[in-house]
Structure 1
Amino acid sequence: MSRPKLAYLTGEYPRASDTFIQREVAALRAMGHEVLTCSIRTTGAEHLVGPEQRAEHAQTFKVLEACRAPLRLLRAHARCLRSPSRYLRALALAWRTAPKGLKGRVYNLIYFAEAGVLADHLAAAGVQHLHNHIAKASCTVAMLASELSGIPYSFTIHGPDIFFEPHHWRIDEKTRRAQFVACISAYCRAQLMCFADAADWPKLRIVHCGIDPERYAPAAQSGQSLLFVGRLAGVKGVPVLLRALADLAPRHPDLRLRLIGDGPERGALERKAAELGLTQRVEFLGYRSQAEVAEALSAADIFVLPSFAEGVPVVLMEAMAAQLPVVTTRIAGVPELVEHGASGLLVPPGEAGALAAALDSLLSDPDARRRMGAAGRAKVIAEFDIKTEAAKLSALFSEGSA
């Protein structure tokens, strides 16, 4: 069976915090797709933490970098102008879908300039379908590049932040023009249905982000070790976790917390841990490679993610694949992955007392930890295996090229 040649675009690729995109690309390649990777910005060195990221970074087309060469920018748009009607339609689309105000118009014209360079690159490479992850600025570029080149496009929508400003990012128009939209959960699809025209609802397909369960060895589950993996930003709720840890410390003298990830609030969180007397209990490890994350999961006893807003966190899938019981918040699409009392415990977001109580119950019950860990792994294998989810995407790509 012939597989269409694909291009993947996102704002910054590869990133240590977006390994699910790398896994998806790798799975599609394993199925026989040729996949070109494209990134609007050049990835920062802090994200190139493993061989997978470095290899992908080396072969990824950087759009802004190409745009900074004036002759390349002009030649790309000159080639796009060979179809003047298509060029003018794309320019009108950029103007019409711009956010309100002068700044919004200027930004969309910048996106149009980027789209011309991307469209030229894709056409020269013989790409048959363009797919975007994260439906913000990079998806605007994808929509405009599709209009300029005639190459169909689709996108994966994650949330939750895209739904904070749906009109700003014109997810209605992006959906209308897309061949299909991959929604990472039923909750995500329902949110998009609030803004997309009802005529476009059949395009909205649930395709989970996924992992390879075989990469994760069963966790130890015999001690008092907590693990958090995520960006150190306010949305992840780490201050709530630190307060819960301080509450638990008197009852669990051996309790320790390791945090993998980095971000704008790391310094403040390190100071907060010190204020709470947790310096000897908390270890900030920064970004780690996929292999190092898998190793940390196998050494932990409970995985905890106290976020205020999420889609369906891939790191929860990884923890569950490692047979770790998880404690996380009852938000968005999380309950579609974690069943309360079966594979983990769900708590209200922002409530340190509830988080501490949930952790206390699991720390005191090794049998419950083992039972939930086994149930979690079974759930991930059944519904969140990257091979299965990539096959769904491949079928959608192939439908459009038939």
Structure 2
Amino acid sequence: MNVLQLISSGGMYGAEAVILNLSHVLEREGDRSVIASFANASQQMHERAQAEGLTSVLVPCSGQVSVPTVHAIRELVSKYGIDVVHAHGYKADVYCWAALRGGQVPMVSTCHTWYDNDLAVRVYGAVDRWVLRQFARVVAVSAEVEQRLLTSGVRADRVRRIRNGIDPAVFSDVANGRAGAHRTSLRVGLVGRLSREKGVDVFIEAAAEVLQTLPDIEFVVVGEGPDRPQLEEQIRKLRIESRLRLLGHQEAMLPVYAGLDLMVSASRQEGLPVALLEGTASGLPLVATTAGEIPTLVVPGETGLLVTPGDAHALAAAMLRLLSSETERLAFGRNARARIVQEFSADRMSADYREVYQQAARSERRA
């Protein structure tokens, strides 16, 4: 089967990592995955895919409405003999629908989430959910996204929930080296976009509380986003600049995971972040909120600890518990990696997607 992966977002975040993992497994299993990135937003994704030996092309796109983009998608479908087009992101969904509606090539979309933080995003989300009613299959990464799809009118028999997956082997060396590492100071990390839904402000507040008991702990945040100025001001007001740093975007994540002793997610809203899968695959214990699908990843008291979103005091208490016990941290980290290998592999995710592609193709033929 030949699949066109159409992606419109910029940067290298969770969705992009999912597409790369999925494409590698599909290729290994004998299918073909062609990655098509919008030229005005996804240049980095295109370059990364090429560097990893995947077939990757740039789709011309400029402004809010681009007729050449529609034509380019149709040409790619013809050139590569595409059987299914898999769109990722609201912009990709809309252009996919504009290019292929009424045709014979089935459309599949993965919906990672809609945060609806402002009017523009709410409008985009509403348009996206209307367009998705025309798709053969729509994949949701969480129960919340699935429910929003159903509420917006997407037929239940077309919706499928699939958990994100990664290749655990990539993180084996980091995980194996953790037990032998003897650190003089401990480091706690959060990886995520600097925006309200990720709860970085709650993490900062909790870090300040932890430092009152364990003043030598180091905290880092990896990621960029619109809330950076407010978060920097919060750090200054709490007078913890020497113990908590905003590192910005990091291209190489393996050294980041290797340098951490504990990983934290303070999200208010969430799907299933790829960063959490990567961190736990690296042998890190996890303190996280119960947002989205995170509870499917964490087994409380075995692989990590869960707290209520927005509760900085509970987040601090959970961090203090694991920071105070090396034995528990290492045991949780080993258990967390084992769970990733068993339940959250890219192979499992790709098998689920292959089934969705086949269902989409069959439904299009029947239509």
**TM-score, shorter chain, exceeding 0.5:** yes
SS at match of 2:73: helix
User: Partner of 2:316 in structure 1?
Assistant: 356
Cα pair 1:63 1:118 within 8 Å, conserved = no
Task: Please identify the structure whose Cα radius of gyration is greater.
Answer: 1
Cα RMSD of the aligned pairs, angstroms, is 2.9
Structure 1, residues 166-187: CA drift from partner, whole Å, max 9, x if none? 9722525513x22222222344
Go from structure 1 to structure 2 and tell me whether the alpha carbon gap of 1:237 and 1:254 turns closer, same or farther (over 3 Å shift): same
User: Partner of 2:34 in structure 1?
Assistant: 36
Instruction: Answer yes or no: is 1:124 the counterpart of 2:121.
Output: no
Alignment of 1:40-51 (within 5 A): 40-43=38-41
Shift of 1:275: 2.6
User: Partner of 1:365 in structure 2?
Assistant: 325
Amino acid corresponding to residue 170 of structure 2 in structure 1: R
Cα pair 1:16 1:53 within 8 Å, conserved = no
SS at match of 2:108: strand
CA distance in 1, matches of 2:263, 2:46: 22
Shift of 1:302: 0.6
Shift of 1:232: 1.6
SS at match of 1:9: strand
User: Partner of 1:152 in structure 2?
Assistant: 106
CA distance in 2, matches of 1:188, 1:260: 25
User: Partner of 2:365 in structure 1?
Assistant: none
Amino acid corresponding to residue 248 of structure 1 in structure 2: V
User: Partner of 2:94 in structure 1?
Assistant: 140
Shift of 1:40: 3.1
Instruction: Answer yes or no: is 1:235 the counterpart of 2:193.
Output: no
For 2:127, which of 169, 182, 195 is the aligned residue? 169
Amino acid corresponding to residue 361 of structure 1 in structure 2: R
Instruction: Answer yes or no: is 1:260 the counterpart of 2:257.
Output: no
Amino acid corresponding to residue 124 of structure 1 in structure 2: K
* Percent identity between the two aligned chains: 24
Shift of 1:55: 6.0
**Stretches (4+) displaced over 4 A:** 47-58, 162-167, 220-223, 399-402
CA distance in 2, matches of 1:306, 1:377: 20
Alignment of 1:1-400 (within 5 A): 4-12=1-9, 15-16=12-13, 18-43=16-41, 59-64=56-61, 110=65, 114-134=69-89, 136-147=90-101, 149-161=103-115, 168-175=126-133, 177-197=134-154, 200-216=155-171, 217-218=174-175, 219=178, 223-289=185-251, 292-400=252-360
Go from structure 1 to structure 2 and tell me whether the alpha carbon gap of 1:12 and 1:60 turns closer, same or farther (over 3 Å shift): farther
SS at match of 1:371: helix
Go from structure 1 to structure 2 and tell me whether the alpha carbon gap of 1:48 and 1:145 turns closer, same or farther (over 3 Å shift): closer
Deviates more, 1:177-186 or 1:156-165: 156-165
Shift of 1:25: 1.9
Cα pair 1:119 1:148 within 8 Å, conserved = no
Shift of 1:44: 6.5
CA distance in 2, matches of 1:332, 1:166: 21
Aligned residues: 350
Amino acid corresponding to residue 277 of structure 1 in structure 2: R
Tell me, which stretches of 5 or more residues in structure 2 are unaligned? 363-367
SS at match of 2:356: helix
User: TM-score normalized by structure 2?
Assistant: 0.84
Go from structure 1 to structure 2 and tell me whether the alpha carbon gap of 1:242 and 1:50 turns closer, same or farther (over 3 Å shift): farther
Go from structure 1 to structure 2 and tell me whether the alpha carbon gap of 1:57 and 1:272 turns closer, same or farther (over 3 Å shift): farther
